[in-house]
């Protein structure tokens, strides 16, 4: 099914691609702000507890919330490691993780302890100096949940407040843990149901409340952001991002207003607009800013939707106390390309047009960099930071995009290769902003994606509900076409001037899906990459000063802290998330993108070494002879693309996380294959029964398709 790709030249229309898809201040004087925050700090906290004032204005040696401070700048003021000595950086310690899936979390550091989440929403606490494990918490997410998660069993981190740690779980719970012991204090389901929603994002804190949204816009979800009392877990407010069934009345004026921008029966499939990553509580304006995902299905035709579909693909602001609507800015009207606006929202005080403005900086999937007034949502400027072809222009006054008619594949009736694609020019991989250089450091993907409207599409009980035609969207088996796609799919670290709205420098990567970034006052930017290294660049000019191979692709963002006069840089390694899971064809574009999940901590003069990586235990490509019928292959390919692709890879080529079915012994035997697909014998591994949507004959068709694909690749010389 999905594919995705990239292209890096800056012209608008060039190369096509496919690739993978699918699927992801300084305004008020700081002192005054700090006093204000402390005064509003709410009910924390025994000695040692984390207060709102600390979160908003953290001590320089700590990292107390996902984006480090309330501005979500991911800027560390530490200078002990700097552009003069970073070459002496070495491994201080590391910790092997007990799961080999995508690792997306940013560790938090408080009171000499690092708090980390890993896949399956597990939480671990380490002594930040020695790496000794202090405690470990497993929410025991049912592995079957994986079938409802677009992009692996990932989690992006915890929130800290008072003496508690908060984590959202893949199966839709918000859990409070005792910071010292890791014991559960309270746990509650915070999504409307556990069938259609998952949580992968990090919670945030706003004055004694814990904020969390959910994912699910590729399924049947109605997006919302909700606030919970940190002490009790009681729900304080919930802001829905799309209107519900009009016959039941609307929860607010904002929903009534939004409903005027929809048509058809959108609510029957949920409507989408999920808040799966960015949440920024701004103590300066007392607003919570967040980004929303695509409307669903991607293809508007099946639900008869038209119009802007508010508040999808938007930045939205609500009152932090009440959740009441304040403003919105829609970045992608009439989205039909999965142009989620969920990427992190960073706040900064910038001099624009001679005036100091408190602004929100945003680089969403759609390829434009937006600057908005953080208090009013007023559009200030936008410019493309990556090639894009879905919009023909952006209005200089309003920021509204004019859609490219060719991009409206549902209306036009012909497939469209979009740039960027559904993976996005930039997604959840955190960007950072340095007030010293005035630059934003964006981990950018340059990839396209083919969209094709499915005909006579009906929703089903399992799998993606995006109403795309998988026969068009699947990665072709033809090696020449694949090579073209692979060549055009790349990544970059882009240093962007948000005032001038132009690129200042870039580091080019062979492949996409590189790690988030950390900026420091030592004139450094740190980033891990898909090729399996972590590197440091000068923040002002992008010169590469240091790198170290870490055996696994890195997708998470680094963070920094200091202890006893030494600065540390910590990052999770562990390649995964959508790119690997969805497309084995592209997963090793950068080379070396295997998954060896670890927490890595660096310091000047660090002398720890990693053990030799275990040998690759790749099974040989040794399929049985293909004896299926053409009709089976056609049917099998369609079913594979709709239901199997998200985990087992485009064109049946697996990545580094889930089994490559072409190499599985299961394809030798029809009854073994049926036992997995229909009888669910592997459900404990996350491979659920697809009986609700498939017959035994369907399973056999899929097996024949995979056998045929395996034989094709073997003939091409793959081993
Ligand atoms: Ca989406």
Task: Parse the chain into domains and list their residue ranges.
Answer: 12-76, 202-427, 457-487+618-719
Give the residue carrying structure tokens 């908005």: 372
From ligand 1's centre to the CA of 320, what distance in Å? 25
Distance 113 CA to ligand 1 centre (A): 34
621 CA from centroid of ligand 1 (Å): 34
Give the pLDDT confidence score for residue 592 in this predicted structure.
62
Q: By C-alpha distance, which of 74, 66, 78 is closest to 561? A: 78
CA 277–ligand 1 middle distance (angstroms): 11
Query: How far away, in angstroms, is 340 Cα from ligand 1 center?
Result: 5
Q: For residue 583, how far is its CA from the centre of ligand 1 (angstroms)?
A: 17
Look at residue 38 and tell me whether its pLDDT is greater than 70: no
Are 303 and 264 within 8 A, CB to CB?
Answer: yes
Which residues is 29 bridged to in the sheet? none
DSSP reduced 3-state for 544: strand
Q: Which of 145-149, 519-523, 581-585, 683-687 has the lowest mean pLDDT?
A: 581-585
Rg (CA), the chain: 24
Q: Map tokens 């994002």 to a residue.
A: 201
Q: Which of 601, 571, 518 is closest to 129 using CA atoms?
A: 601
The CA 23 to ligand 1 mean position distance, Å, reads 7
> Do residues 348 and 359 touch, judged by C-beta distance below 8 A?
yes
Catalytic residues: 338
32 compared with 679, residue with greater pLDDT? 679
In this predicted structure, the answer to whether residue 468 has a pLDDT above a threshold of 80 is: yes
6 secondary structure, DSSP code: B
Give the C-alpha separation, 292 to 312, whole Å.
Answer: 5
pLDDT of residue 11: 32
With 0-12 / 13-18 / 19 or more C-beta atoms within 10 angstroms meaning exposed / middle / buried, residue 419 is: buried
pLDDT higher at 26 or 588: 588
**pLDDT band for position 478 (50/70/90)?**
confident
What percent of the chain shows pLDDT beyond 70?
A: 93
Alpha carbon distance 455, 283 (integer Å): 48
Span 704-716, pLDDT tens digits: 999 999 999 999 8
Q: Indicate whether this model's pTM tops 0.75.
A: yes
The predicted model gives 675-683 an average pLDDT of: 94
CATH number among 1.10.760.10, 1.10.150.20, 3.40.640.10, 1.10.10.10, domain 457-487+618-719: 1.10.760.10
Q: How far is 657 from 679, CA to CA, in rounded Å?
A: 23
From ligand 1's centre to the CA of 143, what distance in Å?
22
DSSP single-letter state for residue 484: H
Give the full edge-to-edge strand order of the sheet including 235-240: 204-206, 209-212, 224-229, 235-240
- Segment 456-469 mean pLDDT: 90
CA of 267 to the centre of ligand 1 (A): 17
* Residue-level pLDDT at 408: 97
Q: What is the average per-residue pLDDT within 133-145?
A: 96
Cβ atoms of residues 153 and 101 within 8 Å: yes
Long-range contacts of 225-232 (CB under 8 A, 24+ apart): 225/275, 225/279, 225/288, 225/290, 225/318, 225/323, 226/190, 226/323, 227/288, 227/320, 227/323, 228/174, 228/188, 228/190, 230/43, 230/161, 230/162, 230/164, 230/166, 230/176, 230/205, 231/43, 231/162, 232/186
For residue 337, the CA-to-ligand 1 centroid distance in Å is 9
634-663 average pLDDT score: 88
Please tell me the distance between residue 514's alpha carbon and the centre of ligand 1 in angstroms.
Answer: 19
Residue 48: band (very low, low, confident or very high) from pLDDT cuts 50, 70, 90 = low
pLDDT, tens digit, 9 for 90 and up, residues 288-308? 999 999 999 999 999 889 999
296 CA to centre of ligand 1 in angstroms: 9
Nearest to 588 by CA among 572, 573, 576: 576
Axis-axis angle for helices 670-677, 696-715 (nearest 10): 120
- CA of residue 156 to ligand 1 center, whole Å: 17
Mean pLDDT lowest among 254-268, 314-328, 652-666: 652-666
Q: If you measure from the C-alpha of residue 718 to the centroid of ligand 1, how many angstroms do you get, rounded to a whole number?
A: 33
CB distance 258 to 243 below 8 Å:
yes
pLDDT band at 18 (very low <50, low <70, confident <90, very high): very low
Cis peptide before 420 (omega within 30 of 0): yes
pLDDT of residue 7: 30
CA of 22 to the centre of ligand 1 (A): 8
- Sign of the C-alpha dihedral, residues 699, 705, 709, 712? positive
Nearest residue to 172 (alpha-carbon basis) of 142, 214, 211, 139: 214
CATH topology of domain 202-427: Methanol Dehydrogenase; Chain A (2.140.10)
Q: From the centroid of its chain, how far is CA 304?
A: 29
CA distances for 653 relative to 15, 421, 518, angstroms: 24, 20, 33
What's the confidence (pLDDT) of residue 372?
A: 98
Three-class DSSP category at 704: helix
What residues does 517 pair with on adjacent strands? 527
| Strand, helix or coil for residue 525 | strand
DSSP 619: P
Of 163-172, 373-382, 441-450, 473-482, least confident by mean pLDDT is 473-482
Question: Looking at the predicted structure, is the pLDDT value of residue 103 above 50?
Answer: yes
User: How sure is the predictor about 27, in pLDDT bands with cuts at 50, 70 and 90?
Assistant: very low
Query: Residue 405 and residue 416: Cα distance in Å, rounded?
Result: 10
Q: Other C-beta atoms within 10 Å of 717: how many?
A: 8
Q: Are 18 and 468 in contact (CB under 8 A)?
A: no
* pLDDT tens digit sequence for 413-460: 999 999 999 999 999 999 999 999 999 999 999 988 889 999 999 999
> CB neighbours of 555 closer than 8 A, spacing ≥ 6?
102, 103, 104, 429, 513, 514, 515, 516, 528, 530, 574, 575, 576, 577
Q: Which of 177, 167, 214, 207 is nearest to 193 (CA)?
A: 214
**Mean pLDDT for the chain?**
90
- pLDDT tier for residue 20 given thresholds of 50, 70 and 90: very low
pLDDT digits (tens, 9 = 90+) for 502-529: 999 999 999 999 999 999 999 999 999 9
- Write the DSSP symbol of residue 640: I
> pLDDT tens across 592-609, in order?
678 999 999 999 999 999
Residue 407, CA distances (Å) to 218, 337, 402 in order = 20, 9, 11
Q: Is the pLDDT of residue 563 over 80?
A: yes
Q: Using a pLDDT cut of 90, give the percent of the chain over it.
A: 79
Pair of tokens at residue 476? 């072709």
Residues 6+ apart with CB under 8 A from 84: none
pLDDT at position 684 is 86
Contacts of 717 (CB under 8 A, 6+ apart): none
Residues β-bridged to residue 628 = none
């Amino acid at each position: 099914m999905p594919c995705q790709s990239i292209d890096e030249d800056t012209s608008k229309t060039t190369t096509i691609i496919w690739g993978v898809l699918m699927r992801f201040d300084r305004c008020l004087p700081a002192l005054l702000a700090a006093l204000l925050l402390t005064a509003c700090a709410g009910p924390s906290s025994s000695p040692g507890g984390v207060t709102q004032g600390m979160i908003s204005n953290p001590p320089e040696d700590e990292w107390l919330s996902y984006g480090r401070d309330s501005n979500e700048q991911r800027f560390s003021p530490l200078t002990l490691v700097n552009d003069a000595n970073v070459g002496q950086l070495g491994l201080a310690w590391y910790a092997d993780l007990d799961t080999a899936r995508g690792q997306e979390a940013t560790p938090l550091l408080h009171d000499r302890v690092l708090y980390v989440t890993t896949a399956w929403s597990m939480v671990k606490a380490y002594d930040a100096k020695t790496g000794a494990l202090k405690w470990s918490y497993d929410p025991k997410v049912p592995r079957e949940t994986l079938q409802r998660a677009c992009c692996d069993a990932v989690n992006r981190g915890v929130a800290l407040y008072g003496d508690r740690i908060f984590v959202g779980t893949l199966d839709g719970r918000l859990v409070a843990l005792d910071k010292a012991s890791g014991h559960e204090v309270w746990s509650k389901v915070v999504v409307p149901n556990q069938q259609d929603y998952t949580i992968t994002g990090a919670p945030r804190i706003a004055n004694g409340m814990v904020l969390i949204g959910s994912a699910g816009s590729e399924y049947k979800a109605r997006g919302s952001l909700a606030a919970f009392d940190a002490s009790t877990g009681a729900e304080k407010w919930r802001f829905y991002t799309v209107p519900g069934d009009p016959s039941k009345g609307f929860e607010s004026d904002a929903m009534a207003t939004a409903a005027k921008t929809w048509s058809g029966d959108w609510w029957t499939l949920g409507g989408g607009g999920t808040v799966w990553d960015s949440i920024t509580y701004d103590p300066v304006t007392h607003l919570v800013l967040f980004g929303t995902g695509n409307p669903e299905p991607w293809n508007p035709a099946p639900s008869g939707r038209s119009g802007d579909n508010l508040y999808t693909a938007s930045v939205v602001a609500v009152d932090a106390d009440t959740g009441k609507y304040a403003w919105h800015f829609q970045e992608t009207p009439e989205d039909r390309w999965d142009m989620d606006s969920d990427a992190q929202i960073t706040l900064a005080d910038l001099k624009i047009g001679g005036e100091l403005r408190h602004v929100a900086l945003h680089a969403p999937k759609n390829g434009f960099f937006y600057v908005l007034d953080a208090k009013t949502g007023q559009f200030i400027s936008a410019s493309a930071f990556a090639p894009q072809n879905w919009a023909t222009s952006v209005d200089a006054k309003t920021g509204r995009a004019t859609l490219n008619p060719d991009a409206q594949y549902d209306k036009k009736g012909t497939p469209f290769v979009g740039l960027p694609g559904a993976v996005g020019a930039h997604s959840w991989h955190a960007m950072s902003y340095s007030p010293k250089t005035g630059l934003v450091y964006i981990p950018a993907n340059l990839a396209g994606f083919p969209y094709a409207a499915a005909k006579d599409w009906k929703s089903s009980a399992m799998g993606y509900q995006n109403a795309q035609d998988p026969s068009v969207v699947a990665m072709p088996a033809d090696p020449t076409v694949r090579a073209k796609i692979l060549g055009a799919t790349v990544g970059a670290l882009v240093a962007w001037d948000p005032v001038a709205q132009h690129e200042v420098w870039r580091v080019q990567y062979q492949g996409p899906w590189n790690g988030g970034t950390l900026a420091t006052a030592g004139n450094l930017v740190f980033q891990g990459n898909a090729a399996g290294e972590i590197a440091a660049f000068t923040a002002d000019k992008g010169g590469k000063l240091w790198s170290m191979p870490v055996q696994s692709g890195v997708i998470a963002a680094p963070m920094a802290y200091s202890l006893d006069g030494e600065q540390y840089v910590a990052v999770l390694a562990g390649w995964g998330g959508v790119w690997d899971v969805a497309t084995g064809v592209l997963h090793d574009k950068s080379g070396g993108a295997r998954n060896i999940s670890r927490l890595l901590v660096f310091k000047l003069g660090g002398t720890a070494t990693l053990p030799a990586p275990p040998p690759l235990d790749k099974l040989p490509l040794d399929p049985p002879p293909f004896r299926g019928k053409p009709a089976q292959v056609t049917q099998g390919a369609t079913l594979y693309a709709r239901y199997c692709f998200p985990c087992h890879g485009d064109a049946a080529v697996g990545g580094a996380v889930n089994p490559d079915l072409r190499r599985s012994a299961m394809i030798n035997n029809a009854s073994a294959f049926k036992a997995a697909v229909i009888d669910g014998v592997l459900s404990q591994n996350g491979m659920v029964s697809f009986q609700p949507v498939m017959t035994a004959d369907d399973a056999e068709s899929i097996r024949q398709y995979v056998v045929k694909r395996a034989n094709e690749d073997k003939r091409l010389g793959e081993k």
